Chains A and B, each alone.
Chain A
Amino acid sequence: MIDRYTHPAWRVGVSAFLLASAMVAMAPILWIVGLALRTGADVYSRAVIPGTFRPENFSDAWGQFGLARLFLNSIVVTGLSVAVVVTLSVLAAYGFARLRFRGSEVLFLLILLGLMIPPAAVIIPLFVEIRTMGLYDTHVGLSLVYVAFGLPLSILILRSFFAGIPRELLEAARIDGASERWILLGVVVPLAKAPIATVAILTFLFCWNDYFLALVLLRDAGTYTLPVGIAQFIGQYSTPHELVAAAVLMAAVPVFILYLVLHRQFERGVAEGAVKQ
Chain B
Amino acid sequence: MSTARRPGATADPRPLGRFGWVPALAIIAAAIATWQIYAMRSGVSPQILPSPARVVDAGWAARDALWTNTVATLEETAFGFLVAVVLALGLSLLIDASGILRTALMPLLIGSQTLPLVAIAPLVIIWFGFGLTPKVLLVALLSFFPITVALLEGYQATDPDVERLLMSMGAGRWRRYRSARLPTAMPFFFAGLRIAITYSIVVAIFAEYAGASSGLGIYIEQETHVFRTDLVFAAVLVTTLLTITLFAATYLLERLLIPWYRISRRVDRR
Same complex for A and B? Answer no
